[in-house]
Structures are given as C-alpha cells and as structure tokens.
Structure 1
Amino acid sequence: MSINNKYFVIFLMLSMTFFCLALYFIIKDLTIILEYLILSLQSSLMIMVILLDWMSLLFLSFVLFISSMVIYYSKEYMSGDLSMNRFILLVVMFVISMMLLIISPNLISILLGWDGLGLVSYCLVIYYQNLKSYNAGMITALTNRLGDVAFLISIAWFLNFGSWNFVFYLEVMKNDLIMQLITWLMLLAAMTKSAQIPFSSWLPAAMAAPTPVSSLVHSSTLVTAGVYLMIRFSYSLDSNMKLFLIFIASLTMFMSGLGANFEYDLKKIIALSTLSQLGLMLSILGLGENKLAFFHLMTHALFKALLFMCAGNMIHNFNNSQDIRNMGSLVNQMPLTIAYFNVSNLSLCGLPFLSGFYSKDLIVEVMSMNYLNLYIYIIFYISIGLTVCYSFRVSYYLLMGTFNFSSLNCLNEKNFIMLKSMSSLIIMVILSGSLLSWLIFSSLYFICLPIYMKLMTLILILSGIWLGLEISQIYLSSMFMLSIKISSFLGGMWNMPLISTMGINLWILMLSKKFTSILDLGWLEFFGAQNLKNMLKMSSNFNQILFNNNLKIYLMIMMFWISLLLFLF
C-alpha cells in the first residue's frame, strides 16, 4: 500500500469515528477533559490536557475528512514529483499540528500546534524552490511570527492565574485587567493567523504552495486556526474588543471582495474569497454569535476545499497556467470539473439549499436583527454583493469567455483519482449545510424582519450577478485602460503587499547602506583596521631600516647619546 492510500484510509476512518463521537456528545451534551501525566519530577508535574466536546470533535472530523480527500487527490496531482513521500509527510504533519490545536484547552499545548502550523506551512509554501516561493514563504513566516510573539506574551501573563488551562478562567475572570490584556493579545494572534487587515498580504502570497496544500490551508487548517481560537476565547471578549473585531473584520471582508474583482489569477481570486469569508466569520463573532461563526467555518471548509481542487484540475490541464483569461468555454472540454466548480461557487454566493446558504443567510439576518449601526449594515451587504460579483465574473470567464490558450492542447477529464476525491466532497457541499444546522442549533430559530430587510440579501445578490457580468465584459474592452490606476490600487489589496514588504525593508536597507558607507567603510575604517594596518606597516618599515643597517645605526645612536650627555652636563 502506497503512503497516499495508507494515510487516506487512516484519516477517513478517524474522520468517521470523530463524527460519530461528535453526534453522541451533542445528544448527551457532554464535555470531557482528559489529563495525561507525561512527567512527574519532584513536585513539578507535566500534564497533557485534552478537551473533548462537540465543537472540537466535529471540527476534527471535518479537518480529517478534507485532508483525506486532499491526500488522495495529491496522488495524481503530484504524480510527477520525485519526492512525493516527503510532500505527503509534510501534509500529515500539518494536519497533526491542527489536531493538536483543536483539542487543547491549554496555551502551551496549543502553542505546539500553532507553531507547528507556522513551521510546516513555511516548508510547504517554499516546496517549489524558486525565488517567488522563497519570498512568499518569508512573508508568510514573518507575518505569522508577530502573532506568535503575542501568543508567547499571553502565556507569560497567564502565570498570574496559576495554570495555562484557559478554559477554566475565561468567563470567571473576564472583568479582570490581566485577562483583558491576554484577550487583546490573543486577538492580535488570531488576526495575523487569519490574515485580517493590516496582515492580509501573506494570504495571496501563500498561493505559491502546491494546489492540494492551498486546498487544505484555505479550507480547514492554517487560516481557520485564528477563527477557532477566537471562538474559544469569545466568552472573555468585552464590548470594546467586539467593536474592534467587527470593524477590522468587516473592512477585511470589503477589501478582499473588492480586490477579487480586479484579479486574473484563478488561485488568488479563490484566496481573496477565503479572506472575505474569514472576515465574515470574525465579524459575526464580533456580534457575539460564536455558534454561528463555527457553523460558517464548517460549511465554508467544504466548498472552499472543492473550489481549490477544481482550480487545481484546470491548472493541471492548462499546463500550469493560472490566468482566467486563457480559460474559456471549458464546459465543453471539462464538464464535470466545471459543474463541481459552479456548485461550489453558488454555495459560496449563498444559493438557497446549498451548504453556504444555511450559514451565510442566517449570519446576514442575525446581523440585521442585532442592528448595530448603518456602517456595519451597509458594509455587510456590499461585501455580499461583491462575493456574488467576483464569483459570477470567474464563472463568466470559465464558461462563456473565449478560449485563448494554445491551440496545441490536451484538455481532458481523465484524472479519475482527482475526480473521485472531488465527487466525495460535492455530496458534502450539497448536504452539509442542512445537516449541520440541525446538529449545531438545538432549538428552532425564527427571525422576524420587515420585508425590505428580508429581501435585501436577494436584491444584493441579483445586483452582484449583473455587476459581475458587466465587469467581465468591460475588462475585455478598451474602457478598462481608463481605470488602470484605480484597478491596480484595488486589485493590489490597497497597496498592503507593497507596504508590508518594501514599506518595512526599503528604508532599513537604505539606512544600512548609509551606515556601511559612512561608518564601516568610513570613520571606523580610518580609526580602526585600516589605520592600524598603516601604522604597523610604517613601524615595520622603520624597524627594517634599523635591522638592515645595524652597525652604522648603532654608531650613530652612540654619537647622539654622547653629544647629548655633553650638551646636558
């Protein structure tokens, strides 16, 4: 049995087991905390704590199901790779790090998973070893280190409570100043991991990783770690933190939705779509609905994994070209992949009775019901319109756009292993929304709103469809040249990648150049090594003259000494 099949079977079996356990825990309303004694040294105990409740078990089952499909998918996608086993083991390490993060109620053991995710993600981003990958890997690693530092500081502050098991203290100590400081730090850590403004630039850069990795990262592992952590810490969020979170998250949602409409790279469009959905999850969390944020986290994981898999199949067939302007009329050559892609896209838009509808529509209606202010209301609905807009723009390019790729091509759908893994996910994309809404919400919910507020989502979706198709056609004409500066600003994520690379590096590098020329090659050189060398050289030349003419010199020195004696005395 190959390494792919082995881990595929293990993860699939574990996923089914955890799902059954999650059902049992939901029915019985159980929470189990297991303590495993690793080491007892004199009076110091090292204990591994594991938290098992319906949330952690359900999330584990989804992570393992998606990762099993990704590993099976990689068997064909990475078939030409010489170090296939290394790639699979890196993916397995990635999944294990995420599992450790999910089941830990202890900050130290969470840090193992948290840093494991950061380290392995760096290895996966630089998997294709070229300059672009190295740059992307460095910006990913360094941005996430900011959050890791906040995590380490919060671990240090937790010493005030006598234990790192944060679940015991969140609600009891929520008014304590130290707990508020820790929650602010954890909020910063979650913002870097989930790529919220101003840390957003690493998420599209991480697209340098292989597509199966992107599928795993953007659905249920790396970027969702921050959201999951904030769901766990949601009990200690006060009103100021919630307002800050909803402001930053809604701005991220708007920025990424706008940027995706000006992007041509297929993987980057889907990456910006992930950023938009992360903003949606964190903003509803800012309104105090942690179950709803978790619900959308689950449904989003499935259709986003499938979107990346379909994109990977297209990129595979297009000889590694990711430009959507090359991909037109694909419904004739790759009907099944396009069908799966469009179902996932419609689920992302919130088409009724697909998985995304159940969570997204509920989030928007709860937001309308818990009316906060006009800004939040407007930005939520505009972001929904933009989601539909870029989704239909991509569909237009793939379905109705002209085929601009090389006439000598080999487009086919004979990648049966990839199609099997995608087919397993499509069933869950269609069914999971309804299934999870019955499981997560124990009682029925009824949201009563005026008719214009009820229909607002539908109006925005229809206007988004119209705008998406219009933008696609405008881009194909010369009118686009008029707005090239605006589009480069909006498509470039409001210049954030430039600020987070050149904005940080450029001035420091210029200053170091000045220091080098003035100090290292200037004054320090004159008063330091260079001057010392010249003085030693002069003294050695003088000594050489002395030693080469010793008799004559000694007589002269003796004459000087005698004349000096006569002169003085």
Structure 2
Amino acid sequence: MQNKTCICFLSFFFLFFFSLINFFFMIYFIMNNMIIFMEWELISLNSMNIVMSILLDWMSLLFMMFVSLISSSVIYYSKSYMSSELNLDRFIILVLLFVMSMILLIISPNIISILLGWDGLGLISYCLVIYYQNLKSYNAGMLTALSNRIGDVFILMVISWIMNYGSWNYVFYLNFMSNDYSMMFISFMIIISAMTKSAQIPFSSWLPAAMAAPTPVSALVHSSTLVTAGVYLLIRFNNLLLEFFFLKLLLLLSSLTMIMAGISANYEFDLKKIIALSTLSQLGLMMSILSMGLSDLAFFHLLTHAMFKALLFMCAGVIIHMMNNNQDIRLMGGLSLYIPLTSLCLNISNLSLCGIPFLAGFYSKDLILEMVSMSSMNLMIFYLYYFATGLTMFYTIRLLMYLMVMDYNLFSIYNLYDEDYIMLKSMFMLLFMSVIAGSFLMWMIFSYPYFIYLPLNLKLMVFYVVIVGMLMGYFISNMKLYSLNKFLMSYELSLFFNIMWFMPNLTTYGLYSFFLKFSQNLNKNIDMGWSELYSGQGMYFIIKTYSIFNSYIQMNNLKIYLFSFILWMLIFMFMIIFNN
C-alpha cells in the first residue's frame, strides 16, 4: 500500500510542478513574443536527415500547463477513487503514458512525431477503456480503437503526401501550401483525422461508449487529452485550411454534432453519458468556430472547457461511488443536503458550462456567440448555434433538478458523506480554476480587448436563450408541461434521440461491422485459403513430397530399382508391339 501511495504522490507532484514551470515560461514567452524551435538530428544519410523537432510557443506551453494541472488533480483523485484497485500502480503508469503522448502531440511541429503522440493516445485509450475487463468494456474499447484508426490512416497518408515538400516539418510549409491547390488533399485528410479524434458526425458513436473507462480516465479524456487532440491539430493547421471549401462542410457537420449531442443529453438517464454528450456538444462548438477561421477563440474555449469538464466528471465520480456504483439519475435526488461540498463543485462546474456570467465558461462562450452574431454566416448556422446554447441550459437544469432538488430515491439505508478529503482537495483545485480561468486566459491570450457592438436584441439574445432553456428544463423535469412531455417522451421520438439519430446503427453496427466481416472473409478465403494453398503450406507440401521421393532414390533401394527396371521393360515391350 505504501508503494501505491508513493507512486500517486510522486506523479502528482511531478505533474503539478511541471504545470507551474510551464506557466512561468508561458508568461515569459507571451511578454517577449518568443518562439523556440529545436531540432535534434537522429540520422543523417546522404541528403536525408531524420530529426526530432520541438516547437515551444505560448500556445503549446499554455496547453501543456492545463494538461499537466488537470492530470495532477486526476492522479491525486485516483488515490482515493481507485483505492480498492489491486493494480493501482499499473493504472497510474497508463495515465502517465497517456499524458506523455498528449504532450508529445502538443510540442510537435513534425507530422511524424504528431503520429507518435496521436497513435499513443489511441493505443493507451484502448487500454484504459478496457480496464475493467468485461464484455461492455471490450466492445467500447474496440469501437474507440477502430474509430481512431481511421484518423491514424489519414495521418499516414498525409505523411506520404507531404514528402513532396522535402520535410515533415509542416510548420514551415503552411503559408506556402495555402496557395497550392494540390494541397487540398492534405487539408481534406487533416480535417477527417481531426473529426475522428474529436468525434464529429459521422464518427460520434465512440465517445459515449468510451464511458466504460474508470471515471478519473473519463475526466482526463473528455477535458484536455484525447478528444481535444483533433481540435488542437486543426488549430495548428489553421493557416492551411482557411483557403479551401472543406471548412464549410466541417461547419455544417460540427453544428449538427452540437444539436445532436444536446438533444440526446436531454433523453439520457446515465449520469456519465449526459456529461459525455455535453463534451460532444462543446467539441462541436469548438470545431464550428474553428471552421469560421477564429482559431484563437477555439483554443480559448478548449482551455476553459477543460477545467470545468474535468471537475464535472470528478463530482460525478464521487456521486456514483456513494450511490453503490449506480449511474441512473432517476435514483438520485436531494444530494445538496447530504454532500454540500461536492454539490457546490458540481453546481459551479455546471453553471460554468452554461456560460453564467463571470465563471470560466462565460468568457469564451459569450465571445463565441457574439462573434457568430457579427459574422456573415447564414441564418441556419446562426439558429443552430443559439438552439445548441439553449439545449445546454436545458440538460444542465434537468440534471440539477434530478440530482439536487427531487427526492432521494435509492435505498432507505444509504452512506452519503462528504469527508473524503483527498477527492475534495483535487476537486477544489479545479474549482478555483473553473471560476477564474476565463478572465485569467482572456487577459493572457488576447493582447487587445474585443469590443463587439451589436443591436440590443442580438446582444441580449444569449440571455433570452438561456432563460428559455432554463425554464424548459425546469418544467420538463417537474412534469409541469404534461402534454408536451408526453409528446417528447413518446417511444419513437425518445428512441430516435436516445441513440444519437441512429448513429451507432449506421456506423458501429453498419459500416464497421461490414468492414470487419469483409476482412474476416478476406482472411478466411485468401490468407488462410488460396494463398495458403499455393504459397506457404502448399509449396511446403509439394517440396516435402518431392524430397521424400528423391531420398528414396538416393538411398539405392533395391525395390525402386526393380520397379523402375520392370517399368522400363514394359514400356519397351509396348513400343515394340505398337511399332509392329
């Protein structure tokens, strides 16, 4: 037990101090407008150099600071959450490998090292999703791995295509490539690979399935590592993508992802899946604002979202623990009376997600919605944005009603307590950041203040939408609007929305299973069939037969000579007979 505690504390302190170091370096880099580009030559053969490159600028340092701060909180939290785990040290090592893969991805200006980090995230996420080793975990892990492999394949194609430029350091070529229409192929492949990692339509079905992982892993995956890797890749490639028409397609798909995830969250009763669908909705928001060319804003929202989403998952983990590992929100209620500190963290992170003024989420979400109102996008995108914002408020108030306001529904004997100080300390560290991160980042990232002048109704549009969403969430949860509730909860409609517009049926059970069956047939008929018969095993059998025959002859066997003598005599006699 002492060894496990030692590993937890060492990992926590290392990551926490690493985040502090990154914070001070980031301040220095922003103040002096610095970028450091380092190359380490591994092999030089004729005119070919294989180098390891590192890019340190304010963006990579700031992101590394957030990743390491959240990871340190998650590892400290895991000391209590995973205390009954026999192999806690293995779990901690997997989480550390996961964080290292993400850091490698963040500091890479080179598409090869990006692939190493990208594939590392995919592989270790598979190991973490199947951690509990039951059938549900295995299925979810396979779905996660297969979905991410699609993105890996596209990155490999980018690597082969970008060789036309003589180096894999894509940072040097972005401005040049943006005027080269042969590079439309690269931009298309980068967008597809980012969409698979960040679970945009039609690759959305893996993200709620990945909830089979332990809750600390979910807090890490859904805040700052796996799902944000696609957004970060597009932020880095932003100069290249702006010139091509693929961004219009990305804008449409990401807006639909926002709506789909928001509606599905309102039909879900699994606590972790509601939070996962909320992550999907926010990823759609980041992708869509990125496809409008506002990469700084997307990065700003990515960082603020990371803080309150990690906190939200940690609170969910505490509640699930106390509910005898039950995740159904219909069996919870009145938790604010029993676990006030955890309820405080949950409510603040939820309100930050909704964009309540002066919490972290407000600074990024409000700015994004005002930029959308000011942009020249069409009316459909405008309505989708505001509808998705209203849905965020809708499912948040519904969740708070079920958890905090309604009656407790589980057992007459229960064990709700708020004295697990290890979990509370790690949550309070993120609670502090969930409150101040928005204003802190706004002062840091934007060197000049944004003043957006809009008509009064457009300026107040956010508040209208938030109030309507809040009232709808309250009324639907309380069954006040009975006729509307009866229509919304009808079997056909709830089935359609609950399984994400039949997305798993179209992709998981349809497309992926088709390819798996196709590859199984190929393996059976070609690898273990024709090619086996005429190459490996077949050639072995033929050569073996001939060698046995040769060995008989070479052993001077009398029977063989007699047989051959009689055979030749018979042939000779037949020839004489036929000649006559």
2:490 maps to 1:486: no
CA apart distance, 1:480: 6.5
2:304 maps to 1:299: yes
CA apart distance, 1:407: 1.6
Question: Does the aligned pair in 2 maintain the 1:126–1:136 contact within 8 Å?
Answer: yes
Q: Secondary structure at the match of 1:325?
A: helix
Question: Does the aligned pair in 2 maintain the 1:157–1:178 contact within 8 Å?
Answer: no
Hey, what does 1:246 align to over in structure 2?
A: 251
Hey, what does 1:424 align to over in structure 2?
A: 429
Q: Using the TM superposition, name which of 490-499 and 386-395 deviates more.
A: 490-499
Hey, what does 2:444 align to over in structure 1?
A: 439
Counterpart Cα distance in 2 of 1:277 and 1:435: 20
Counterpart Cα distance in 1 of 2:47 and 2:262: 55
2:332 maps to 1:327: yes
2:32 maps to 1:47: no
Counterpart Cα distance in 1 of 2:173 and 2:7: 43
Counterpart Cα distance in 2 of 1:449 and 1:209: 44
Counterpart Cα distance in 1 of 2:339 and 2:438: 27
Counterpart Cα distance in 2 of 1:445 and 1:137: 43
Q: Secondary structure at the match of 1:37?
A: strand
- Percent identity over the alignment? 56
Question: Does the aligned pair in 1 maintain the 2:334–2:407 contact within 8 Å?
Answer: yes
Hey, what does 1:14 align to over in structure 2?
A: 18
Hey, what does 1:523 align to over in structure 2?
A: none
CA 12–392 in structure 1, closer or farther in 2 if over 3 Å, else same: same
Counterpart Cα distance in 1 of 2:441 and 2:455: 27
Question: Does the aligned pair in 1 maintain the 2:130–2:137 contact within 8 Å?
Answer: yes
Hey, what does 2:561 align to over in structure 1?
A: none
Counterpart Cα distance in 2 of 1:516 and 1:62: 45
2:192 maps to 1:151: no
Structure 1 segment 499-514 matched on structure 2, within 5 A: 499-504=506-511
Structure 1 segment 160-309 matched on structure 2, within 5 A: 160-237=164-241, 238-309=243-314
CA apart distance, 1:39: 3.3
Amino acid at match of 1:463: V
Counterpart Cα distance in 2 of 1:319 and 1:365: 44
Counterpart Cα distance in 2 of 1:241 and 1:333: 51
Amino acid at match of 1:233: F
2:467 maps to 1:462: yes
Amino acid at match of 2:262: G
TM (norm. structure 1) is: 0.89
Hey, what does 2:319 align to over in structure 1?
A: 314
2:411 maps to 1:406: yes
Count of residue pairs brought into register by the alignment? 536
Question: Does the aligned pair in 2 maintain the 1:39–1:45 contact within 8 Å?
Answer: yes
CA 284–508 in structure 1, closer or farther in 2 if over 3 Å, else same: closer
CA 405–384 in structure 1, closer or farther in 2 if over 3 Å, else same: same
Q: Using the TM superposition, name which of 284-293 and 509-518 deviates more.
A: 509-518
Question: Does the aligned pair in 1 maintain the 2:272–2:313 contact within 8 Å?
Answer: yes
Counterpart Cα distance in 1 of 2:341 and 2:333: 15
Question: Does the aligned pair in 1 maintain the 2:475–2:481 contact within 8 Å?
Answer: no
Deviation string for 1:310-348 (max 9, x for gaps)?
000000111111110111000111111111101000000
CA apart distance, 1:45: 2.8
2:146 maps to 1:136: no
CA apart distance, 1:471: 2.1
Deviation string for 1:466-502 (max 9, x for gaps)?
1111221339978369612101111211011122222
Amino acid at match of 1:315: I
Question: Where in structure 1 are there 5+ consecutive unaligned residues?
Answer: 520-528, 530-565
Q: Using the TM superposition, name which of 213-222 and 400-409 deviates more.
A: 400-409
CA 505–441 in structure 1, closer or farther in 2 if over 3 Å, else same: closer
CA apart distance, 1:221: 0.2
CA apart distance, 1:245: 1.6
Hey, what does 1:534 align to over in structure 2?
A: none
Counterpart Cα distance in 1 of 2:524 and 2:235: 52
Q: Using the TM superposition, name which of 244-253 and 299-308 deviates more.
A: 244-253
CA apart distance, 1:506: 5.7
Amino acid at match of 2:184: Q
CA apart distance, 1:409: 1.7
Counterpart Cα distance in 2 of 1:362 and 1:192: 27
Amino acid at match of 1:12: F
Counterpart Cα distance in 1 of 2:62 and 2:520: 54
Hey, what does 2:377 align to over in structure 1?
A: 372
Q: Secondary structure at the match of 1:410?
A: coil
CA 518–275 in structure 1, closer or farther in 2 if over 3 Å, else same: closer
Question: Does the aligned pair in 2 maintain the 1:170–1:179 contact within 8 Å?
Answer: no
| Residue 71 of structure 2, aligned match among 59, 63, 67 | 67
Question: Does the aligned pair in 2 maintain the 1:474–1:480 contact within 8 Å?
Answer: no
Counterpart Cα distance in 2 of 1:165 and 1:481: 52
Question: Does the aligned pair in 2 maintain the 1:151–1:186 contact within 8 Å?
Answer: yes
CA apart distance, 1:287: 1.1
Q: CA RMSD in A?
A: 3.0
Counterpart Cα distance in 2 of 1:333 and 1:270: 22
Q: Secondary structure at the match of 1:33?
A: strand
CA apart distance, 1:508: 6.8
Hey, what does 1:554 align to over in structure 2?
A: none
CA apart distance, 1:415: 1.3
CA 80–221 in structure 1, closer or farther in 2 if over 3 Å, else same: same
CA apart distance, 1:404: 1.2
Counterpart Cα distance in 2 of 1:228 and 1:460: 29
Amino acid at match of 1:496: M
Question: Does the aligned pair in 2 maintain the 1:253–1:277 contact within 8 Å?
Answer: yes
Deviation string for 1:169-192 (max 9, x for gaps)?
111220212322111100000000
CA apart distance, 1:514: 11
Hey, what does 2:477 align to over in structure 1?
A: 472
Deviation string for 1:186-235 (max 9, x for gaps)?
00000000000000000000000000000000000000000000000111
Question: Does the aligned pair in 1 maintain the 2:332–2:410 contact within 8 Å?
Answer: yes
CA 417–480 in structure 1, closer or farther in 2 if over 3 Å, else same: farther
CA 366–507 in structure 1, closer or farther in 2 if over 3 Å, else same: closer
